[in-house]
Amino acid sequence: MNLSYQGIFEQRGQLYQQAMSRFPNARDEEFNHLLKQLPVNANQHVADLPAGGGYLSQYLHESLDQENISYTAIETSQTFFDFCPQDDNRHRILCPLNHISLADQSQDSFYSLAGMHHTFDRLPIYQEIYRVLKPGGKGVIADVLQGCATGKFLNEFVHRFNSIGHHGMFLDDRDFTAIEAAGLDVIAHKKERYHWRFKSLEDMARYCQMLFGLDLASLDEIVDGIGSYLGYQVKHGEVLMNWSLLFITVKRPESLPIRIATSPGLEARL
C-alpha cells in the first residue's frame, strides 16, 4: 500500500502524537540539530512544513521569548492539524504543501523535518517554499538520505512490521537539482548523526512502536530490529538509539538591485 503523507497520518497520526506526548524529550537532539543549522532570530515569521503536531514550536520558543516569533504550522493531515498549537503567536494552516496558504514573500525562514520523504514529486513544494520566503530568507530541509541505515530501517524493518507498509522516497541528487530549479540556493548540506534518548529499552521499543505504527511487531522484535539496522548503546542508565538525517540549508537569493538609468552629467554628480 503506497499512501500519501496525508493518507498515512490520517491513519496513524494519533499513535504518533501519543509517542511524542509520552516521550517528549526523546528527539531533543534532532530538533536542536535542526536549529543549529539555522538559529532562529527574534521578530521572525517562521513556517514549519509538514509540521506534524507542531512539535518544533516548543524548541523555537525555548530559544527566544514566545512573543518574538510568529510560528505557522503547515499540515496536510487533519489529524496532525488538530494537534498543532494555536494562540496569538502560533498559527496553523491545513493545506497541500504544493499550494501553501501563505502570502508571497511573507516568511523569514522555514523548517522541514522528516516529512518530505512521503512525497515523490517535491519540486512543486520547493517552488512554494521559494514563493513564500522573503528575499534573503533561509530554511532547512532535514530528511533521510537515500542509501543510509536510517532509510533501510524505515523501508525494510518498518515496512515489514507496519500493516500499511513504508515506502519512503528519500533525499538524493534529484533534490538538489529540484531545489535549484525552484530558484533556491543550497548554502550548506551535512549528514548529521545523533541519538534518540530513552530511559530503558522498553521505552525505546514502545516509542518506535507508536511513532512508526509497528502493529505487527513485539517489543522484543523492535529492540532486535533497532539493534540490527541502527544500533544503540546503554550508557549511564540511558539508552541512546542511533539516528541520522541529511540537513540541507537553502536561501532565497536577495532581490537584484534596481539600476536607474542616468545621464552622464547626473551620473558624474552622484
Q: Which residue has the higher pLDDT, 8 or 141?
A: 141
The answer, yes or no, to whether residue 263 has pLDDT greater than 80, is no
What pLDDT, on the 0 to 100 scale, is given for residue 61?
80
187 alpha carbon, distance to own chain's centre: 18
| Amino acid letter, 98 | N
pLDDT in the model for residue 2? 59
pLDDT for position 3 = 72
pLDDT one-digit tens code per residue, 67-108: 689 999 999 999 999 999 999 999 999 999 999 999 999 999
Of 76, 140, 147, whose CA–CA distance to 113 is shortest? 140
Q: Sorting pLDDT into bands at 50, 70 and 90, what band is 1?
A: low
Cα–Cα dist 92/108, whole Å: 17
Q: What is the pLDDT of residue 262?
A: 39
CA 47/CA 182 separation, integer angstroms? 18
- Model confidence, pTM: 0.91
Q: Retrieve residue 145's grid coordinates.
A: 538520505
| Residue-wise pLDDT tens digits, 214-248 | 999 999 999 999 999 999 999 999 999 999 999 99
For residue 74, the SS3 value is strand
Outline where DSSP puts E strands in the chain.
Answer: 44-48, 69-75, 90-94, 107-113, 133-143, 185-198, 232-235, 238-251
CA–CA dist 22, 10 (Å, integer): 20
Domains for the chain: give ranges and CATH numbers. Answer: 5-196+243-254 (3.40.50.150)
User: Among candidates 3, 4, 9, 5, which has minimal Cα distance to 79?
Assistant: 9
pLDDT at 73: 98
How far is Cα 196 from Cα 208, in angstroms, rounded to an integer?
Answer: 10
The reported pLDDT for the residue numbered 7 is: 82
Residue 258: per-residue pLDDT: 45
> pLDDT by residue (tens digit) across 132-172?
999 999 999 999 999 999 999 999 999 999 999 999 999 99
Mean pLDDT across 7-36: 94
At residue 9, the pLDDT reads: 86
State residue 186's pLDDT score. Answer: 98
State how far the Cα of 204 lies from the Cα of 5, in Å rounded to an integer: 24
Residue ranges in the chain assigned as alpha helix (H): 5-22, 28-37, 56-63, 78-83, 123-132, 149-152, 159-161, 173-181, 201-211, 219-229, 264-269
